[in-house]
């Protein structure tokens, strides 16, 4: 007598298994896509923090002024450039040929600023930047004029490792701010999570993420 086991798997059983796999895939794929998107956003935030750290470290190591430039006024997809601007007495606070020592590009699915459905322009609690109006679009950094507040897409590190603000003046740095005035933050979002990368007046950086459940920023 031939048993069911000896007859093998029927076409109906195969169809049921295939259908089950299809249903599970349709449930799992959106969750996986969201996970990968969130990981890319987290990686982008870390890259911004690393750019601050590299600019500071290179300024200390070389004794030269270094700029961290958020090119294109924080336009979508524009790279972050770390620039060796030469000795402090000869730097011109501009990106000249051969001065870019490193670039960091933001992933395409991460944009500058905050999401209206998340932090909605709320500054990180320890953000030392004066341009709170720029949080929603990506930066709380200002230039050295301070009043009126002018948004900036760069920060300058001198050989002491402290960030400074500056006001570009054609082919030179123009006004350079005092130590303790150069802090600020960069904000990133993928509409699922908001990130704040805070640069302290001492040159250290920290990454914060918006906690939707607590409705606040957290480390």
Q: pLDDT digit string (tens) for 91-133? A: 888 888 899 888 887 666 788 899 999 999 999 989 999 888 8
Residue 184 forms part of a structural domain = yes
Strand ordering across the sheet containing 216-218: 111-112, 184-189, 194-199, 205-211, 216-218
Residue 2 forms part of a structural domain = no
Host domain of residue 78: 9-218
Residue 4 forms part of a structural domain = no
Number of domains in the chain: 1
Residue 1 forms part of a structural domain = no
Where is average pLDDT lowest: 16-25, 26-35, 171-180?
26-35
Report strand pairing: 163-164 vs 80-84. unpaired
What's the pTM value of the predicted model, to 2 decimals? Answer: 0.81
Which CATH number covers residue 199? 3.55.40.10
For residues 123 and 140, is the Cβ–Cβ distance under 8 A?
yes
pLDDT digits (tens, 9 = 90+) for 166-183: 887 767 788 888 888 899
Residue 3 forms part of a structural domain = no
pLDDT digits (tens, 9 = 90+) for 181-200: 899 999 999 999 999 999 99
């Amino acid at each position: 007598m031939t048993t069911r086991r000896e007859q093998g798997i029927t076409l109906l059983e195969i169809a049921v298994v295939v259908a089950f796999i299809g249903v599970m895939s349709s449930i799992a794929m959106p969750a996986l896509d969201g996970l990968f998107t969130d990981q890319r956003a987290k990686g982008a935030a870390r890259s911004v923090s690393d750019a601050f750290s590299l600019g500071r470290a290179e300024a200390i190591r070389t004794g030269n002024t270094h700029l961290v430039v958020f090119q294109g006024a924080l336009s979508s997809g524009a790279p972050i450039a770390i620039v060796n601007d030469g000795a402090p007495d000869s730097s011109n606070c501009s990106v000249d040929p051969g001065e870019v020592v490193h670039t960091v590009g933001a992933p395409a699915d991460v944009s500058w600023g905050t999401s209206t459905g998340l932090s909605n322009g709320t500054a990180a609690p320890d953000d030392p930047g004066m341009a709170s109006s720029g949080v929603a679009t990506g930066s709380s950094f200002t230039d050295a004029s301070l009043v009126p507040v002018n948004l900036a897409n760069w920060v300058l590190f001198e050989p002491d490792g402290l960030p400074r603000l500056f006001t570009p003046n054609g082919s030179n740095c123009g006004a350079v701010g005092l130590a303790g005035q150069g802090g600020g933050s960069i904000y990133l979002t993928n509409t699922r999570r908001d990130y704040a990368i805070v640069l302290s007046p001492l040159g250290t950086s920290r990454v914060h993420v918006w906690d939707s459940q607590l409705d606040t920023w957290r480390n």
